[in-house]
Structure 1
Amino acid sequence: MISIDVPNSSQCEVVTATMTYRNSAGDVEVLDYEQLSSVCTNQN
């Protein structure tokens, strides 16, 4: 894995994160996926 970029959010919401990695052939790939913002894990 090269990097994971998750946008900052002040609200509990779904954000689009981007993961950049090198595959088994050595090529750089970029994958976008959705996840809950980090604010959601801090709420009770």
Structure 2
Amino acid sequence: FEFAATPDNYGLPNEDFNAGVFVLRPNIGVYNEMLRISLY
């Protein structure tokens, strides 16, 4: 997930990015992984 770290660079969660990933990859496992990386 190369782009998963992008929100961390700004120190803010990027909800639009996460929503886009969810739409492009409707896989709850991937979505949860993205949220986990963003939050931690």
- Measured against the shorter chain, the TM-score band is under 0.3
- Which of the two has greater helix per residue? 2
Which is higher, the Rg of structure 1 or of structure 2? 1
Higher strand proportion (structure 1 or 2): 1
Give TM-score, length-normalised by structure 2. 0.24
The answer to which structure, 1 or 2, has the higher relative contact order (CA under 8 A, 6+ apart) is 2
